[in-house]
Structure 1
C-alpha cells in the first residue's frame, strides 16, 4: 500500500511507504555512506534538507545515542530503500518523516544528473500527492535560508574541559558536530563554544590560543557576522576551520564560494595533499565549495574526483582549514592529525 509521496522539482512524484508520518520540505540530497547513519541524521549540516541514503539498508546495527553528533535529528525528512524498525521508530519519535520502499538508485541518479533540488514530502494515513506538491511549492532554495545559523548554534557560551592543560580554543558554532569538540578535548584543549554571531569583543574576553570556525548548514555568505569576526581577528590569533568554516574564512579574506551541483556527502571522498602527494580518504558533507581562495590563502589539498579545494593555508597568518571532516565519525580516520596541527600552530 502506498502511503507516502516524495515530490521533486519538475513536479515528479515518487511513491513509497511511510515509516514515520508527517509532511516536510527541503533540499533533497544524497549520501553514499553505508555506515554512520546515526551520525548523519544528527549532523547539523543537514538542517533544511531531505537526506536520501544510497545504501539500501539503513539501521542494521541499531540506534545508539552515544553516536549522535547533536541533541536532535536535523534533516527535515529522510528517504531510503529500506529503514529498519529501530531507525523508523527513532525518526517517528523525533517527528521527522521517513519514507522507504523507494528506488533510491533512481533518486540518486536524478540528483546527480539534475543537481540538488527542492522536495516536498507527505507521509502517513492521510498522505497525498497533492500535499507533497504543496510542500514542494513552499520549499525555499538553501541560499534563501538567511537565518539558518540561529537554528543550529548554541544560544550562549559553553565551556568544555575547563581544567585542560592544552591550548584554549574559541569554537564558533555554526552547526558544530559534537565530535569536533570531543577531538579537541581528547587533546586536552579547553574549548569555549560560542554562538555563530559572536562578536570580536566576545572572543577578546576569552583571549583564546585558536579561533576555530565550525562546520554548518547552508550558504556561507549568510554567515555574515562570522565572516566579519574572521576578518577582524585574522593575524591576531591562529585561525582554523572545517567545512563551512573553510568557506567562511575564504569569503572573509577576499575569496569566493559557489554552490555545487550535488555536493560531496559520504565517507569515501579521496583528497590529495599537494605538498606531499599523499591521498587520504575523507568524510564529507557540503553543498558549497570555495571557487576562488583569493590572494591570502594557498590551496594545499584538492579533491581527487573534481579538483575542488579541500585544504587552505597561510603559514604567515597561521591559518589552516579543511573542507572535509577530520573528526570523521564513524571513519575513516586518515585525517585526524588535523587537530594536532591546529593545536601545534597555537603552541608555536
Structure 2
C-alpha cells in the first residue's frame, strides 16, 4: 500500500492510503456535499486549499468532463474516506496528491473545533511522517497569497453568447464557475468575461447593462481593483455579485468582511429570505463573509444556522448579491431565479435610459 500522511497545524499526523502521489501544503477545509465531486474539484474557489470530503465514498458515478466547472482541478490535495479508482486516476493525471482510508470524521471534527488550518500532505512509496511535517512547516512560513486572482482568472477578455438579444453583462472573473456564465447565456445574455484586474476602460468598452462580480478564492480585501470597479460604476450601472462577489460589492459600498472559523462548503445550507419568509437550500463554498454591509446595502437573506448575510440589496443603487451559488452545480436548484432577477434589474435600468418619445 502506498504510504500517505497529512500533518495538521495542531501537531496531529494522520496516516492513510496513498491514491495519487506527491506533496502539498495549504489550508485544510471540508465540504459536506455528497454529490458533485467533479464540480467541487474544478471549482476555482478551492485554489490553494486542501479539500476533505466528509461524505464517505467519492467517485461512485465516475468522472465526466461535461460536469467540470473549469479546465483543471483546483485544490492542492484531496482527502477522503474512500476514493474510487476513476477519481484517483483523474487526480493523479492532474498531479494532485490524494489519500483515503483515513477517518474523515476526525478531520472534520478537528476543523470544526480549531477552524480551517494549515496542513502538509505527503503521498508516495517512500514518504514518511517527517515529509508531511516538513510540508506543514513550510506552509506555516507562508503568508496568504495576496494575488490569488491571477491564478484563476482569464488572461484576456472572452465573449460568451455573442449576438444574443438579451442584456450585455460585464463579468469580472475572480475565479468564476463555468455554470455561472452558462446560466446567464441560457437567459439570452451576451457575457463579456474580463480579467479580475480589468480597468475602468475595459468595462466601458463593453458598455454593459450590468456589472457582475464572480465567485473566487481568498480574502476579498486582496481584490482591490474589483472593488474600485464597483465604486466607479455603481451609480450608473446595476451591479450583481456571487459569493466573493458579494463580499467585494459590500467592501466597495462601505461594508466590512471577516474570515469565518471554517466557512460554508456544501450543498445543504439553509437560507431564509427575510421578506417572504421562505427558506431555500443552497450550494456554498466560501471562507469569508460580510460582517457589516454598510449604509448603502441592506441584508435581504440570512443563513439559518449562523445568521450570516446571504443576500444583499441596494438601498440607493441597483445592487443584487448572493453569498451562495444560485447556479448550484452541484446542489439544489431553489435559487436559479437570481439570474432572472439580475437581468430584469439590468433591463429595467436600460429601459429607463431610453429617452421617451415626444
Structure 1 and Structure 2 fold alike (TM over 0.5): yes
What count of residue pairs does the alignment treat as equivalent?
Answer: 348
Q: Which runs of no fewer than 5 residues in structure 1 stay unpaired?
A: none
SS class of match (2:156): coil
Q: Does structure 2 conserve the Cα–Cα contact (< 8 Å) formed by 1:143 and 1:219?
A: no
Displaced runs of 4+ in structure 1, greater than 4 A?
Answer: 140-143
Aligned to 2:75: 75
Aligned to 1:137: 137
SS class of match (2:326): coil
How far 1:142 moved relative to its partner? 9.2
Aligned to 1:239: 239
Aligned to 1:103: 103
SS class of match (2:257): strand
Q: 1:143 to 1:294 in 2, by over 3 A?
A: farther
Distance in 2 of aligned mates of 1:143 and 1:165: 46
Aligned to 2:47: 47
The C-alpha deviation readout for 1:190-225, integer Å capped at 9, x for no partner, is 000000000111101110000000000000000111
Give the TM-score normalised by structure 1.
Answer: 0.98
RMSD of the TM alignment (CA)? 1.1
The C-alpha deviation readout for 1:88-119, integer Å capped at 9, x for no partner, is 00000000000100100010011001100001
Distance in 2 of aligned mates of 1:138 and 1:336: 42
Aligned to 2:27: 27
Aligned to 1:165: 165
Instruction: Verify: 1:301 aligned to 2:297, yes or no.
Output: no
Larger Rg computed on CA atoms:
2
Distance in 2 of aligned mates of 1:306 and 1:231: 29
SS class of match (1:35): coil
SS class of match (1:144): coil
Q: 1:212 to 1:143 in 2, by over 3 A?
A: farther
Distance in 2 of aligned mates of 1:204 and 1:13: 52
How far 1:235 moved relative to its partner? 1.2
Distance in 1 of aligned mates of 2:6 and 2:254: 40
Distance in 1 of aligned mates of 2:276 and 2:336: 17
Distance in 1 of aligned mates of 2:129 and 2:205: 54
Q: Does structure 2 conserve the Cα–Cα contact (< 8 Å) formed by 1:2 and 1:15?
A: no
Alignment of 1:282-293 (within 5 A): 282-293=282-293
Give the TM-score normalised by structure 2.
Answer: 0.96
How far 1:143 moved relative to its partner? 7.0
